[in-house]
Structure 1
Amino acid sequence: MANWNLKSFDDIYSSIAESAYKDRPNSFPKLFNKNKSTEIDYSKSKKDNEGQITKGGGTDLPNGGKVYLQPDSKKLLEDEETGYNAYYVTDTETINANTHQTYFAIRGSDGFGINLPQIKKGNFKEFNYQDWINNDAAFALTDAIVPQAKYATKGMKEKITELEEKAAPNAKMDVTAHSLGTMVSVQGLAGLSESELNHVGKAVLFDGPDTTASLKKAGYSDEKLKLLDKKLFIMSILLIQLVCSIVINHGINN
């Protein structure tokens, strides 16, 4: 995500997509608890590590702005080798018959991690090649299915199974992500069956490329592409910022 934070948590999807990154307000990597769920309240303002404030989105957000970051008991939401990281949040503290809305958030590209003095010494340990070379470059240059995608599919399948077993019958899982996370999301969703896709409400994705060529190259049918197209909403973080700014300024001036 760009080197700035959202101005407001007015939109639940962009807020959750941002939280998947490190060093952000309501950062999932920082708040994650492997043993229990963590409440996150997007209705309230929040500071990042540098003191920058993101304005609260208010209680008109879904579920009053509250979501619960769930633990990853089966270790299906991360893979160190490929750099894959995802997070699962719900509208209830635990997944049960009262759960109606859940969100599967995939982290986009972390920073390059380039330390020139260390690179000159031949130390590439901090360089984030998993995201930028193995995934971003592979997609951009060859329309490849990125390495992280299969882990996204596996994680999505597990969470959908959990919904079927524990949640309300009409409970949905929405997907949200930014940048690299959008590619991983779409390609991950492509690995789901039609029945599994019925549990996905929508995928709200920010600042990502068109993945159609990669899906066709991988052999996915036109029917599968049509199913996916019904779920996808591709948006721009900059557009969200602009809309929020207009709404806020209009309210102040009137």
Structure 2
Amino acid sequence: MANLEKDYNIYADLAQDAYIGRENNFPYNELKPSQQSKLDSNKSVKFNFSNAKDTHGNSIDSVYLQPDNIVKTVTKKKFFGKDKEYQKGLLTDEKACYNSYYLTDTPALNTDTKHTSFTFVGSDALPTNVKDLTKGWAGNNLNNWVDNNLVFAEKGYIPQAKLVIEAMHQKIAEMRTKAPNATMSMTGHSLGTMVTIQAVANLPAKDINKIDKVILFQGLDARESINKMSEQAQKNIQLLEE
């Protein structure tokens, strides 16, 4: 697994920019109002990366962040206290602390599209003061650490990975009809690496031939968890390693 600080290709950029507080930010709340407006209108947002290359050495100086056009507000009823609202879509689930970003090399997915990418945000640091604790379970990434990182520590199936599988599968199905010549790469950092590899392993067999590269940064080895999964999951990983 590569070091995220070595900004030597487009995937290092994509993995970093899934977090908040980076040079180019994908998270919706950190976008400019004009960029938010585009996503709200189901249009893509262009990001430029000077001198960036993919793993094949091809220049990729710009990518287009695609909207999650099925995001909706879900209300969780509580017996006591105020009801809780959170955002849920194909690429995001605020309650599960899950955020992924889908990018293409064309403004919209079409027959000219050759390359698409998924990047998955990792887990930020745990809260260190009382003020942070007031942000709640999701606001502090506690559900990342308890529901996902600790599950992985036991070599288990990470809940976020199951959300990623559905997102990947739907986007690959869309590629088959709109961009039949396109392939998909995945990248992530920290928790994002474990989520990525478990999700790829559990894709339907027919989806694997659309995967180009899986590029992971500074995450733990997921092999032991894959070995506990289905025979098909192990075959998928073997195919990608060939």
Deviations, residues 166-224 of structure 1 (Å, cap 9, x unaligned) = 01x3210110111100111111112211111111111111111111221222x321x53
Matched to 2:156, the amino acid is A
Gaps of 5+ in 1: 44-55, 234-254
CA contact (8 A) 1:108 1:178 kept: yes
Per-residue deviation, 1:155: 0.3
What residue in structure 2 maps to residue 11 of structure 1?
9
What residue in structure 2 maps to residue 130 of structure 1?
143
What residue in structure 1 maps to residue 184 of structure 2?
173
Deviations, residues 8-58 of structure 1 (Å, cap 9, x unaligned) = 4x3111111111111101111133633310111101xxxxxxxxxxxx648
What residue in structure 2 maps to residue 92 of structure 1?
106
- Specify which of 61, 70, 81 is matched with residue 65 of structure 1: 61
Aligned counterparts of 1:232 and 1:12: Cα–Cα separation in 2: 21
Cα pair distance change 1:14/1:88, threshold 3 Å: same
CA contact (8 A) 1:114 1:127 kept: no
Identity score, percent: 38
The total of aligned residue pairs comes to: 210
Aligned counterparts of 1:61 and 1:186: Cα–Cα separation in 2: 23
Deviations, residues 123-160 of structure 1 (Å, cap 9, x unaligned) = 461432111111112211x1111110110000001110
TM-score, normalising length from structure 1?
Answer: 0.75
CA contact (8 A) 1:79 1:85 kept: yes
Root-mean-square deviation (CA), in Å?
Answer: 2.6
What residue in structure 2 maps to residue 150 of structure 1?
162
CA contact (8 A) 1:205 1:232 kept: no
Aligned counterparts of 2:150 and 2:135: Cα–Cα separation in 1: 18
1:98-247 paired onto structure 2 within 5 Å = 98-116=112-130, 119=133, 123=134, 125=136, 126-140=139-153, 142-167=154-179, 169-217=180-228, 219-221=229-231, 224-231=233-240
TM-score, normalising length from structure 2?
Answer: 0.78
Gaps of 5+ in 2: 71-88
Aligned counterparts of 1:211 and 1:21: Cα–Cα separation in 2: 22
CA contact (8 A) 2:185 2:213 kept: yes
What residue in structure 1 maps to residue 23 of structure 2?
25
